[in-house]
């Protein structure tokens, strides 16, 4: 699974994660998570 913000590889072991509409998203860094949390509809697929 990829970090939807920067397209880097991120997986279930990442501690940066958010759920949106029942789906789990993983991030490489806190700043990517925060960007997602600000506007999840823009990045969620």
Residues of this chain that interact with Zn ion (CB under 5 A) are 3, 5-6, 8, 28, 32
Least distance CB 14 / Zn ion (angstroms): 9
25 vs 32 by CB, closer to Zn ion: 32
Least distance CB 24 / Zn ion (angstroms): 15
One DSSP character per residue, 1-45 reads: -B-TTT--B--TT-SEEEEETTEEEEESSHHHHHHHHH-HHHH--
Least distance CB 4 / Zn ion (angstroms): 8
Token digits for 20?
């949106």
């Amino acid at each position: 699974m990829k970090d939807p913000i920067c397209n880097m590889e991120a997986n279930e072991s990442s501690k940066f994660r958010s759920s949106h509409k029942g789906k789990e998203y993983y991030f490489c860094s806190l700043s990517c998570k925060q960007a997602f949390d600000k506007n999840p509809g823009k990045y969620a697929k």
